[in-house]
Amino acid sequence: MIRRASATRVRRVVDRVRWFVRELSGEAVYDKYVAHARACNPDAEVMTRREFERSRTDAREADPRDGFRCC
């Protein structure tokens, strides 16, 4: 019984750390995009992860206020 409770606590901590790392690294952004796109229009074609990341990168590089580019 004690082992089960201990395992449950460890699992909760691991899940929270995983969630935090995914949010911090931006990994969860694609999942949120897919959920939003499917909720708004289930028939619409959803970008692949590669297309989505390319789009995000292009948008960041095109924004001069972002601070990553000097020109």
**Each residue's pLDDT tens digit, 15-59:** 999 999 999 988 899 999 999 999 999 998 999 999 999 998 898
Task: Give the span between the Cα atoms of 38 and 33, in whole angstroms.
Answer: 9
Whether 70 has a pLDDT exceeding 90, the answer reads no
Global pTM reads: 0.64
Long-range CB pairs of 62-68 (<8 Å, 24+ gap) are: none
Task: Give the span between the Cα atoms of 27 and 25, in whole angstroms.
Answer: 6
Residues 6+ apart with CB under 8 A from 45: none
For tokens 């409770």, what's the residue?
5
Check: CB of residue 38 under 8 Å from CB of residue 46: yes
pLDDT given for residue 52 in this prediction: 95
